[in-house]
Amino acid sequence: MRPTRHVFYLALAGSLAAGFAMPASAQNTIKIGELNSYKAQPAFLDPYKKGWEMAVEEINAKGGVLGKKLEVISRDDGANPGEAVRVAEELVTREGVAMIAGTFLSHIGLAVTNFAGQKKVFFLAAEPLTDKITWANGNKYTFRLRATTYMQVAMLMPAATAAKKKKWALVYPNFEYGQSAAENFKALMKKAQPDVEFVTEQAPPLGKIDAGAVAQAIDDAKPDAIFNVLFGGDLAKFVREGNTRGVFKNRTVVSLLSGEPEYLDPLKDEAPVGWVVTGYPWDKIKTKEHQAFVDAYKKKYNDYPRLGSVVGYVTMKSLAAGIAKAKSTDTEKLVAAFKGLKVDSPFGPFSYRASDHQATMGAYVGKIALEGGKGTMADFKYVDGASVLPSDAETKKLRPAAD
């Protein structure tokens, strides 16, 4: 028995030594878990990853946060809610991350929001736009960076109502983000223009649009105007079929996200001129903070930024600012620090609201134009996110028992 017992104690001693050695190295870094649909949505998420990598490099070059370097452990969520929750669990339990961030598709963001609430893990939803993340399904541990579907629809409302069109067609991807955007648009239009009619709603499955059939159905309904929520490959197919069939001719079109370079650039000279859109005219924003970001991004990647680049960059800048304010990576202290947290960004300063954990970073609204054979934004302006959010009192009704 003695040799066996001796081997056991040696093994135990080795395990303890290894156990004590690991925190010594871990103490020099702050681990951030990041998950996203990189394989499914590369147009947005490749630039997004470059953005957060640049931010981490900048932060660490200045000494990190609280004297520690940031270390990001990134995983693909498979564009599947179940896989996303499994990945989030793995990041927390196996990798020992202090917090999680990311997600792109709204239903994925909602799944991770639920995970964060149940497991009491701090989660910064970087990109998913559904209102439910910070309202109906909101919880104490989840904050969100990008402007929501409600906010972005509200930004387009001045143009939609000014058009004075009675008959509208809606087209949107049939998942949480598209459904949410359509419901917001109908509600806000009914309030602003009670006699409005919605003559058709086309809701193709994400990534599987039959663009010819959708475009023809819209044209057959004879709308005066179109509200579009498609993005990515679905948008490109819809625009090409719509152009071919003359669906957009003499019709007002307002469209979410279509001014983002990720979705506008692939269209080249087929970009739908005159559409009113939310987007990112990266080459025309001349503020000091934005120019510094563009210059640094071009120097590092020899490429221009997309909106995903800004979102990824500001995601990590937000986490660093929150950790610095909390003076800790403790979850409860992070939650407290993020309430009212002020962050500098390429779009200027913004904050995370204490009432609903929504950031006030805004978006650019303008019209699609052609310049040099490619689409761009013209007549644009920046809309502060705070200007299109409900009051704190109204938010309480939208966010039942979240905290």
Q: Tens digit of pLDDT for each residue in 276-317?
A: 999 999 999 999 999 999 999 999 999 999 999 999 999 999
| % of the chain surpassing 70 pLDDT | 93
DSSP, collapsed to helix, strand or coil, labels residue 17 as helix
pLDDT of residue 372 exceeding 80: yes
Report pLDDT digits (tens) over 170-207: 999 999 999 999 999 999 999 999 999 999 999 999 99
pLDDT of residue 2 exceeding 80: no
CA-to-CA dists, residue 268 to 51, 202, 256, 294, 369, angstroms? 24, 25, 18, 22, 11
- Average pLDDT estimate for 96-124: 97
Q: Is 303 exposed, middle or buried (0-12, 13-18, 19+ CB in 10 A)?
A: exposed
Give the chain's domains with CATH numbers: 23-148+286-361 (3.40.50.2300), 150-284+365-387 (3.40.50.2300)
Is the separation of the CB atoms in 84 and 108 below 8 Å? yes
pLDDT of residue 8 exceeding 70: no
Q: State how far the Cα of 87 lies from the Cα of 284, in Å rounded to an integer.
A: 39
- The pLDDT of residue 402: 66
Q: State how far the Cα of 285 lies from the Cα of 213, in Å rounded to an integer.
A: 38
- Mean pLDDT value across the chain: 93
The more confidently predicted of residues 20 and 94 is: 94
Confidence class of residue 114 from pLDDT cuts 50, 70 and 90? very high
Strand bridging mode 350-351 / 29-36: unpaired
Amino acid at 369: A
Q: Which of 20-29, 36-45, 59-68 has the lowest mean pLDDT?
A: 20-29
Is the separation of the CB atoms in 177 and 372 below 8 Å? no
pLDDT of residue 17 exceeding 90: no
Confidence class of residue 147 from pLDDT cuts 50, 70 and 90? very high
